[in-house]
Amino acid sequence: MIARSRHHLHDYLQGRMTGTSAGGTAEQPPPGDTEPIKTYLVEVRGNGVAGRDPDFSVVKTLRALVSEPYLKAGFPARVHPARERGLVTIEGRYRGGTPVSMYADCRDPRHWLIHTLAPGRTADWAIGRMAAVGTRLSRVSMPGQLLEKLAGLGLLEGLILSHDRRQFDEGGGYGAEGFMSMQLWGGQSGRILSMMSRERSLSDSVSLSRVHVRYWPDEDDRAASCLAEIDRDGRMVTRGTSYEGHLHLVKVFRRLYTRQIENLESHFRVRADGDAGKLVGRCLTIRPARPIGNSARFCDIAFSGTPPFRLWGVPAQTSGSFTRVRALDLDVGGALDCEVTPEFLRVFLLSGTSANSVVRFLTNLQHYFHSGVRLLDQDGQDVLEL
Partner 1 sequence: MSSNFRLQITNLLIGMCRGTPGLTAELRELGYREQWITSGFPRDVAGRSHPVMVLASRETRHSLFVEVAPGPRIDSDRLLQYTGTTAVELRRGTNLSREQTETYGIAVFGLTEHRDTLRESIEESGVRAALLLCDAEGIRLDVNPFMQAALANIFRPLLPISWAGVPRWIPFDHESGPADIAAAVVPDVVARLLAGETRIDIAEVCREQVLWKLTTEAGKKRLRASVRGALAEAAGREMRKYFSVRGRFVEAATTSSDDGVPLEHRILRIVSRRQVQLLTRLGGDDRNAEDR
Nearer to partner 1, 112 or 268 (CB): 268
With beta carbons less than 8 A apart as the criterion, state whether 342 and 334 touch.
no
Q: Give the residue among 134, 178, 156, 149 at the shortest CA–CA distance from 45.
A: 134
User: What minimum distance in Å lies between the beta carbon of 311 and partner 1?
Assistant: 11
Quote the CA–CA distance of 52 and 200 in Å, as a whole number: 54
Three-class SS state of 93: strand
Taking the CA atoms of residue 41, residue 47, residue 51 and residue 56 in that order, the dihedral angle to the nearest 10 degrees is -80
Quote the CA–CA distance of 315 and 296 in Å, as a whole number: 7
With beta carbons less than 8 A apart as the criterion, state whether 16 and 105 touch.
no
User: What minimum distance in Å lies between the beta carbon of 276 and partner 1?
Assistant: 6
Q: Burial level of 362, CB count in 10 A (0-12/13-18/19+)?
A: buried
Name the residues that contact partner 1, by CB under 8 A: 133-134, 270-274, 276-279, 282-283, 285, 304-305, 312-314, 316, 318-319, 322, 324, 326-328, 330, 333-335, 337, 339, 341, 344, 346, 348, 350-352, 376, 378-379
Nearer to partner 1, 16 or 269 (CB): 269
User: What minimum distance in Å lies between the beta carbon of 267 and partner 1?
Assistant: 12
User: What minimum distance in Å lies between the beta carbon of 121 and partner 1?
Assistant: 25
With beta carbons less than 8 A apart as the criterion, state whether 39 and 246 touch.
yes
Buried b (16+ CB within 10 A) or exposed e, 138-174: bbbbbbbbbbbbbbebbbbbbbbbbbbbeebeeeeee
Q: Give the residue among 180, 176, 196 at the shortest CA–CA distance from 188.
A: 196
Nearer to partner 1, 85 or 324 (CB): 324
Segment (H or E) for 354? none
Nearer to partner 1, 20 or 351 (CB): 351
Quote the CA–CA distance of 175 and 116 in Å, as a whole number: 40
User: What minimum distance in Å lies between the beta carbon of 326 and partner 1?
Assistant: 5
Nearer to partner 1, 97 or 333 (CB): 333
User: What minimum distance in Å lies between the beta carbon of 279 and partner 1?
Assistant: 6
Nearer to partner 1, 6 or 287 (CB): 287
Nearer to partner 1, 188 or 381 (CB): 381
Distance of CA 22 to the CA centre of its chain: 32
Nearer to partner 1, 224 or 350 (CB): 350
Nearer to partner 1, 23 or 277 (CB): 277
Q: Compute CA distances 162 → 121, 183, 237, 315, whole Å.
A: 20, 9, 18, 28
DSSP string over 252-302: HHHHHHHHHHHHHHHHHEEEEETTTTEEE---EEEE-SS----HHHHHHHH
Quote the CA–CA distance of 269 and 350 in Å, as a whole number: 6
User: What minimum distance in Å lies between the beta carbon of 44 and partner 1?
Assistant: 15
User: What minimum distance in Å lies between the beta carbon of 328 and partner 1?
Assistant: 5
User: What minimum distance in Å lies between the beta carbon of 309 and partner 1?
Assistant: 13
